[in-house]
A and B are shown apart, each in its own frame.
Chain A
């Protein structure tokens, strides 16, 4: 996903700075300064740590929510895992509904919005700071996050708007309004409006500018330095063709290539693990050992825990509410079935893909250890672990994969660009849904949003707008504050749906078609 990865972002920032013309630099600086002054308080508030620690409260907010949902629904992510897979396979789909949106399609589309830079670069940052032990906490948080997704996506389908022409609109803004009204709790409308505002801001920033910026950093890393606005114009043109021009072919190609890239990434990781099969036991030893002792990383065990939790929360968007928008288009009579399907999303994103990145970095020996003590050696600042070539962020992942296959860095660059593009397409949709919720549906209103979105693509790729991106990242997590607050009120509704469905499944009223 998007979350500003300190190192990846600063690397990109460096590139953007050197490539931007002198005048743009001063303009960047002006915009940055203006933005930092007016929004800094908000960013600081969202990402502020608990007093006396370095643990951001927003991460705790997400992890606590995930734990509450896990317990409240009786470890649903484990109980319903096999059933979720049956649903995705279409075992319970009525053949007469063929041609409608399937569970698989809803899941694949939602995944293409979350799988991205976070899985590749973000994990490298987490392991680079928190050591192998961070992987353990990341997996744990990913498993917990499945329950958050389950809750929000069930509600997304249950309270979606279905229009006469057959189109649907769903997401937190709809369940916050309708669900709160149904429960007789006031304030739903206010929460929905807040959610929508944060969602639009997040769509322009983390879901757009940050992606464009990182895509440009990747391309210039491979082909050499050139001005960012060129990348920006090309990307904006393609995005424009898809979201305004309705050019299905490009979207179709991306939507086919992105899952392929994801599968290829995991396969490449598996091959590297097999090539180092003798070290797998050692790697897991490092992960478990590091998780509880810290093995010399900055901040020890707590440092590893913070990095792992942070990475999981930032990567799979569980609790943010964005997935509820994507999942709500599925054709089903039972909203809870989409909840089951959506819980696979953090599993694939975090437990599988993020873990693969971490394992490859660990097993290829990128992180340097003191040969005498076995502890990780820290670099001069004392904050991050020394790596073979001093690589950090996406460069670390690239080096780890390239140590086995030299050509993999090119594949990785293409993957990052495509992931960035598909994340932009997804977020343009999330932002649009929030926009139409606030301003109403209509061709002109929607066009205004889409054009602004494309302009931000160019700005994101060309400029180094750190504070702007920080602000929009903060906006994405502000979505989670509003959304989870609402989920606590609405979770009894999900529980009622769950119990009804499970009893009908047990009695045989709901049965397989194949």
Chain B
């Protein structure tokens, strides 16, 4: 069975390290990778009436921007890596949504961390921290 590795990707250096790591594993195991980008979103947030009206339009714009600025370059870069690359752009809570993407037949998930030990992360937790605890598949955190 060929392994499918999900990589959390946001264009940051840390996520690029995670991507490299995942590509290497996938090449060794003859697997594929899913480059996943999650746009932070809550269905329980509050918007003004004019934001509601434009939401669908903005969403399309955001998706297009994420595809152009993040996904297309990655796909181009990995075109001759010898690994099959899929992409996923989703809305939602970042850790939960990445977990949901894994449920679609992934064998493991790889994410990067920036190693910051800042106050925000201490109080609210980090994506890497939550995934380490909640991911439905083995989770590799690349420093």
Contact = CB atoms under 8 A, between A and B. Distances in A.
Nearest to B40: A99
17 contacts: A98-B92, A99-B39, A101-B55, A102-B44, A104-B43, A109-B52, A166-B54, A166-B56, A166-B60, A167-B54, A168-B56, A242-B48, A255-B47, A329-B53, A331-B56, A425-B48, A426-B49
A105 B45 contact: yes
Contacts of B41: 98-99
Given A242-B48, A259-B46, 9 more contacts: A99-B59, A106-B52, A109-B49, A166-B56, A168-B53, A252-B46, A425-B49, A429-B50, A429-B53
Contacts of B54: 166-167
Given A99-B91, A248-B51, A109 B46 contact: yes
Contacts of A165: 57
A104 B55 CA distance: 14
Mostly, the B contact residues are helix
B43 A256 contact: no
Interface of B: 39, 41, 43-57, 59-60, 62-63, 90-92, 97, 100
A358 interface: no
A169 interface: yes
Of residues A98, A251, A329, A331, which shows the largest number of chain B Cβ atoms within 10 Å of its Cβ? A98
Given A95-B100, A99-B91, A100-B55, A243 B43 contact: no
A223 B59 CA distance: 44
7 cross-chain pairs, A with B, having the tightest CB-CB distances, nearest first: A99-B91, A166-B57, A255-B46, A329-B52, A102-B43, A429-B49, A98-B91
A109 B62 contact: no
Given A98-B91, A99-B91, A105 B53 contact: no
A113 B57 CA distance: 23
A112 B45 CA distance: 13
A417 to B, nearest CB: 17
Contact of A329 (B43, B55, B62): B55
Contact of B43 (A90, A167, A251, A429): A90
A326 interface: yes
A108 interface: yes
Interface residues of A, number: 38
A426 B97 CA distance: 32
Nearest to B58: A166
B94 to A, nearest CB: 12
A112 B50 CA distance: 13
Contact of B52 (A95, A258, A326): A326
A409 to B, nearest CB: 26
A330 B56 CA distance: 9
A167 B53 contact: yes
A169 B57 CA distance: 13
A4 interface: no
B43 A98 contact: yes
A255 B48 CA distance: 7
Contacts of A325: 49
Contacts of B44: 102, 104-105
A117 B100 CA distance: 44
A27 B6 CA distance: 70
A248 B51 CA distance: 9
Contacts of A259: 46
Contact of B47 (A93, A101, A166, A258): A101
A379 B100 CA distance: 65
Nearest to A169: B53
A307 to B, nearest CB: 31
Nearest to B63: A99
A102 B44 CA distance: 8
A102 B49 CA distance: 13
A106 B49 CA distance: 8
